[in-house]
């Protein structure tokens, strides 16, 4: 499991430990240099309504405590 997957699951369990920013997010499928890359428009340059919450920061200690607490369920 990657840190991104852990972040996603942790966000569902404890969204209050994350700082998010609404933004328009899309996957580039046509660009020769960027095909397959995720593009996030924080500045609104694409004139699209935000369609995602992008995690910008988290309370690292509370995140670690959550993971440790969840692992204790496997004892």
Tens digit of each residue's pLDDT (9 = 90 or more) over 2-50: 555 677 889 999 999 999 999 999 999 988 878 889 999 999 999 999 9
Tally of structural domains, the chain: 1
For the beta sheet containing 38-41, the strands, ordered from the edge strand earlier in sequence to the opposite edge, are 38-41, 18-27, 52-58
**Coil, strand or helix: which one is 61?**
helix
**What is the pLDDT, as a whole number, of residue 1?**
54
Does the predicted model carry a pTM greater than 0.75?
Answer: no
Residue 64 sits in which domain range?
3-72
**Coil, strand or helix: which one is 20?**
strand
């Amino acid at each position: 499991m990657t840190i991104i997957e852990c972040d996603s699951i942790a966000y569902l369990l404890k969204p209050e430990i994350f700082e998010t920013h609404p933004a328009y997010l899309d996957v580039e499928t046509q660009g020769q240099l960027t095909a397959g890359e995720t593009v996030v428009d924080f500045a609104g340059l694409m004139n699209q309504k935000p369609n995602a919450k992008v995690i910008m920061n988290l309370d690292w200690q509370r995140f670690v405590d959550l993971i440790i607490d969840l692992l204790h369920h496997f004892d």
